[in-house]
Amino acid sequence: MPSSTDARIEELCARIRLLCSGDLTSEVEAELRMLARHLRLAIKDHVRAARSSLGAKKSAMITGDPDNR
């Protein structure tokens, strides 16, 4: 799986944890909602990349390509 999506998810989670450790203001709530949207998209991208990678590995196994196992 691409490490770029892992890093993006970790960064978003860290920002969310930091915001959750303080007082909840309307600005913090708005930021949390925005980060939640970004996190959902990052997870969706991560799952899409994982499925694509598994699909490629499955195809390689079916065709007998030893380089992609």
C-alpha span between 24 and 52 (Å, rounded):
39
Q: What is this structure's pTM?
A: 0.74
**pLDDT (average), residues 7-27:** 96
Domain holding 28, by residue range, is: 3-68
Total domain count for the chain?
1
The confidence score (pLDDT) of residue 68 equals 54
Residue 27 has pLDDT above 70, yes or no: yes
Residues 54, 31 contacting (CB under 8 angstroms): no
